[in-house]
Amino acid sequence: MNPTPSGHIGRVGDRLTLSLTREFRAPIEDVWAAVTEPERLARWVGTFTGDPATGEVQFEMTAEEGATPEPMEIRECTPPVTLKVTAHAGDFHWHLDLHLEESDGVTTLTFTQPDLDPAHADSVGPGWEYYLDRLVAAETGGDVAGVDFDRDYYPAMAEHYRVQAD
């Protein structure tokens, strides 16, 4: 596969922020469903239990061996455009923001992770490239299992992100 790293790290105010985009030839509502419905999420990243209306769900990574459910706080949800969550994974708290925009039958998903720890950029960047490519594969009928983190993402993309975080 050998994907090329596409994300960039920059400063938004005083915050180091990772940004990646992916495009889908699909209506915005369909892409929204792919990132918010448990059955669709399970195809590429994980699933959740609980009622999102409460502002928190339990999220479990299905693409990770031995993952356990962790709290996921929903900071903002404006269907079908914006989803902002805070993932609580052990001692880490990650802000993860999605924005969708549709134009001429193409929906662009912009993923950002504000407050990126520069010490982890070399693994976080490739990790999100991997998951977003799994999303693309799931939504286009591709082989999700063929998206291989160890072969194509890490450490292959690590330097791209390490340099940007300095």
Q: Where are the domains of the chain?
A: 8-165
Range in 33-37, 86-90, 92-96 with the lowest mean pLDDT: 86-90
CB contact at 8 A, 25 and 41 = no
Q: Which of 132, 120, 131 is nearest to 158 (CA)?
A: 120
CA distances from 137 to 12, 79, 107, 114 (A): 30, 23, 15, 25
User: Regarding the domain delimited by 8-165, which CATH topology (the fold level of the hierarchy) does it fall under?
Assistant: Alpha-D-Glucose-1,6-Bisphosphate; Chain A, domain 4 (3.30.530)
Comparing 103 with 67, which gets the higher pLDDT?
A: 103
Say if residue 92's pLDDT is above 90. no
Distances (CA, A) of 50 to 33, 70, 93, 142: 17, 12, 19, 29
DSSP letters of 46-81? EEEES-GGGTEEEEEESSSTT---EEEEEEEEETTT
